[in-house]
Amino acid sequence: MRWLALIWKSLMRSKRRTLLIVGSLVLSVFTVAVLQSLLTTLDAVTNNPNSSNRLVVRHKSGLTQMLPRSYEAYLRQQPEVETVCAIQWFGGYYQDPRNFFANFASDETTLFQTFREEFGISGITEAQIKDYLRDGAGCIVGESLAKKNGWKVGDVVPLTGTIFPISPRLTIRLIFRSPKPSDENVLHFHYKVLEEGVPRMKGLVGSFWARTRRSEDIPRLIERVDRHFANSAYETLTETENAFNLSFVRMLGNIGAIIQGITAAVVVAIVIVTGNTMATAIRERATEIAVFRAMGFSAGRVLVLLLSEGVLLVGAGGLFGVMLAHLAAGGIRGSLGAAMPFFADFAILPHTVFACLAGALAIGMLATFIPAYAATRRPITDGLKAVG
């Protein structure tokens, strides 16, 4: 306890300096934790294990171009394919244009089997599925989206179209719960609603999502599908679901390199600031260190005392920085999760916390050890010259 009291008294020798260094460490660790968690979140989007046996078939010219629904028959005939679901992004909004969330017109007959992991199919009863299939104006929504808007089964959801000139009134027939929060910020309705409301969409669709029996089947299936429709009026681009998601992430630019660059700059700044602060603090205490040595304290014991001060200082900054990042994660999920669904999974994961704290402590040890070791190796007489 006497050692702790001595360390605390030494840290409070210059309260302003201590608060400034802790504050800078809090902001630095907070920045690193949030950036690395963002990178982890984006990586999960493009490396989703549930997507390993699904592929996306779309028009070769881009997502805005349509494919004939007749292509679905060929896809179903392939021995590797288990199910095929036709899906079209609708892009409507509920009540206010700012109340944006993902909504799709989907083939209701194969939707649940194609995306059974996302819908938590084991928690959905056969009666619920039949209820949705019977209602041509029915829709299904994720639990997170339903809670946000105060919806319950039986409520009517009027969607205002932005891409298509229709505003369907949909009745909620099922609220599903998914293992991942990001998969719950979505609404699906019957594809026939879009075809009947927009005549030009009759027999057309934006993309097909095919589920294969085994992930190993995907490479040869991709090559076969694109070769079959090559040189047709509607050429296809077939890719894995993870590759499809990666194309959206790439729209943000080389986000990985940007994040790692910023992280490296922050770490260098932490090292410089912490090292300079600790070197100045130890230099000012040259006489005090000499007095300790003259009283019988060994150089090793004084070194441990100084290292403890540095580690405690940096550890406190790292701990508060991680705590602040945890608080910010909730705000990020709430504010961005609906507009960009993958942000609903944003969290400061344990390995990120460990890396940030371990890094902060390592920096504290390094920044303190060099000046502390030099100070304890100085002759006692040099330090005592300033006494009196």
Predicted confidence (pLDDT) per residue in 332-363, tens digit: 776 665 556 666 677 788 888 888 888 888 88
At residue 125, the 3 state secondary structure works out as coil
Is the same domain home to 8 and 90? Answer: no
- Helix (H) and strand (E) counts for the chain? 14, 12
Is residue 347 in some structural domain? yes
Tally of residues, the chain: 388
pLDDT beyond 70 at 383: no
Q: At what angle do helices 15-46 and 350-376 cross, to 10 degrees?
A: 140
Is the same domain home to 259 and 282? Answer: yes
Residue 42 confidence (pLDDT): 72
Is the same domain home to 36 and 138? Answer: no
DSSP state of 161: P
Percentage of residues of the chain with pLDDT beyond 70: 82
Question: Sheet holding 54-59: strands in order across?
Answer: 93-94, 156-160, 169-176, 138-142, 186-190, 102-106, 81-89, 207-212, 54-59, 236-240
Is residue 120 in some structural domain? yes
Residue 336 confidence (pLDDT): 65
> What mean pLDDT, rounded, does the chain reach?
83
Is residue 231 in some structural domain? no
Pull the structure tokens for residue 75. Answer: 């896809």
| Mean of pLDDT values over 62-69 | 90
First to last CA, the chain: 30
Q: Beta strand 102-106 with 186-190: parallel, antiparallel or unpaired?
A: parallel
CA distance 284 to 338: 54
Q: What is each CA distance from 240 to 58, 105, 176, 177, 218, in whole angstroms?
A: 11, 21, 25, 25, 8
Residue 335 confidence (pLDDT): 67
Is residue 237 in some structural domain? no
CA distance 195 to 18: 66
Q: Minimal CA–CA distance to 241: which of 39, 41, 38, 57?
A: 57
CA distance 192 to 189: 9
At residue 105, the 3 state secondary structure works out as strand
Residue 2 confidence (pLDDT): 63
Which residue in the block uniquely carries the two structure tokens 């006494």?
A: 387
Residue 169 confidence (pLDDT): 95
> Which three-class secondary structure string do you get for 64-101?
CCCEECCHHHHHHHCCCEEEEEEEEECCCEECCCCCEC
Q: At what angle do helices 255-284 and 299-336 cross, to 10 degrees?
A: 150
Is the same domain home to 261 and 334? Answer: yes
Is the same domain home to 273 and 368? Answer: yes
Which residue in the block uniquely carries the two structure tokens 């079209």?
A: 88
Listed residues 184, 213, 242: the one ending a domain: 213
Residue 134 confidence (pLDDT): 93
Is the same domain home to 118 and 168? Answer: yes
Is residue 247 in some structural domain? no
Residue 103 belongs to what domain range?
Answer: 54-213
Is residue 230 in some structural domain? no
Phi, psi (deg, nearest 5) at residue 142: -75, 155
Is the same domain home to 202 and 76? Answer: yes
Interval 316-332: pLDDT, tens: 888 888 898 888 887 77
Is residue 337 in some structural domain? yes
Residue 212 confidence (pLDDT): 92
Listed residues 158, 192, 213: the one ending a domain: 213
Interval 201-248: pLDDT, tens: 999 999 999 999 888 888 899 999 999 999 899 999 999 888 887 766
Higher pLDDT, 324 or 288: 324
Residue 388 confidence (pLDDT): 47
Name the region of 208 (left: φ>0; alpha: ψ -120 to 50; beta: rest). Answer: beta
Is the same domain home to 170 and 58? Answer: yes
Question: pLDDT band at 53, cuts 50/70/90?
Answer: confident
Q: Which helix (H) or strand (E) holds 159?
A: strand 156-160
**Least confident interval from 33-37, 160-164, 255-259, 262-266:** 255-259
Is the same domain home to 357 and 373? Answer: yes
Is the same domain home to 143 and 265? Answer: no
Is the same domain home to 61 and 180? Answer: yes
Interval 108-130: pLDDT, tens: 999 999 998 888 888 888 999 99
Residue 141 confidence (pLDDT): 95
Listed residues 197, 213, 229: the one ending a domain: 213
| CA 181 distance to own-chain centroid | 11
Pull the structure tokens for residue 173. Answer: 């027939």
Positive/negative CA dihedral, 26, 28, 33, 35: positive
Is residue 229 in some structural domain? no
Interval 146-193: pLDDT, tens: 998 999 999 999 999 989 999 999 999 999 998 888 788 899 999 999
Burial class (CB in 10 A: 0-12, 13-18, 19+), 388: exposed
Question: pLDDT band at 77, cuts 50/70/90?
Answer: very high
Is the same domain home to 321 and 371? Answer: yes
| Tally of domains within the chain | 2
Positive/negative CA dihedral, 377, 380, 382, 383: positive
Cα three-residue angle 103-104-105, rounded to 5 degrees: 140
CA distance 10 to 295: 18
Amino acid, single-letter form, for residue 98:
R
pLDDT beyond 90 at 106: yes
Q: What is each CA distance from 323 to 34, 40, 318, in whole angstroms?
A: 11, 18, 9
Question: pLDDT band at 284, cuts 50/70/90?
Answer: low
